[in-house]
Amino acid sequence: MFIKKLYRYSKTMFFAFTVFVLAFVVINYKWGLVATPVLQYGMFGGVFHSKDTQDVYIVEANHKFINNGKISFTNRDIIQVYIDNYQRYKELNWSAYNTMKKYIGYTGLSSFMTTDKFTPVISDTTFTNWYRSKMEAITGEPITSLNVYLQHYVWQDTVLAAIDAPSKLTCIVP
């Protein structure tokens, strides 16, 4: 076992490792905050119910829709996840600020907690230019026209069915 071998190899390292793991357990139990890089169940995901609404971003580049079924999973993530994260970044950053403010208060360093460190300002134009460059890399051609639409889907029996019409996102500027 690793811990037994570590104890035989170096008692100092064994003690440091034990304190690290115990601190991780205490912090996560008491505060409910992942404070160390130790992985735990559910750290990067959550429960997914088949009745949940799915947001699908439809990208139109140079008046042609990008077929997500014909590109790699990595590029699919770039198309779907990055635009979703941009749509929600202000809300998520504000939530992170409010969560961390509680815990930083225990350390006495709350005077260093300013909102500008947690809420960067990204303009729609800046994001659009960056997103366009990503789409150019995916399609392999320069993009002169870029539109992104959001459509909601839900599982019905064994089929993913649209529950509304696509709506054009205003954060993608011409």
Q: What does the pLDDT read at residue 44?
A: 56
Q: State the Cα angle at 54 between 52 and 59, rounded to 5°.
A: 175
* DSSP label of 37: S
- The answer to whether the pTM exceeds 0.85 is no
Q: What does the pLDDT read at residue 9?
A: 92
Q: What does the pLDDT read at residue 103?
A: 78
- At residue 2 the predicted structure's pLDDT band, cuts being 50, 70 and 90, is confident
Q: What does the pLDDT read at residue 35?
A: 54
What is the tens place of the pLDDT at every residue in 75-126?
998 888 899 989 888 888 888 888 888 778 777 777 777 777 777 788 899 9
Tokens of residue 160, six digits: 């993913």
Quick one: three-class SS letters along 98-154?
A: HHHHHHHHHHCCHHHCCHHHCCCCCCHHHHHHHHHHHHHHHHCCCCCCEEEEEEEEE
Q: 61, 143 in Cβ contact below 8 A?
A: yes
What is the tens place of the pLDDT at every residue in 5-64?
999 999 999 999 999 888 877 777 766 665 555 555 455 566 666 778 888 999 999 999
The total number of residues written for the chain in this structure? 174
Judging by beta carbons within 10 Å of its beta carbon (0-12, 13-18, 19+), is residue 153 exposed, middle or buried?
middle
Task: Report the pLDDT averaged over residues 154-170.
Answer: 88
- Rounded to the nearest 10 degrees, what angle do helices 2-9 and 11-30 cross at? 130
Q: Are strands 146-156 and 54-61 parallel, antiparallel or unpaired?
A: antiparallel
Q: Rounded distance, CA 129 to CA 133, Å?
A: 6
- Which amino acid type is present at position 38? V
- Which amino acid type is present at position 86? Y
Q: What does the pLDDT read at residue 33?
A: 60
Q: 153, 160 in Cβ contact below 8 A?
A: yes
Per domain, the residue ranges of the chain are: 1-46, 54-168
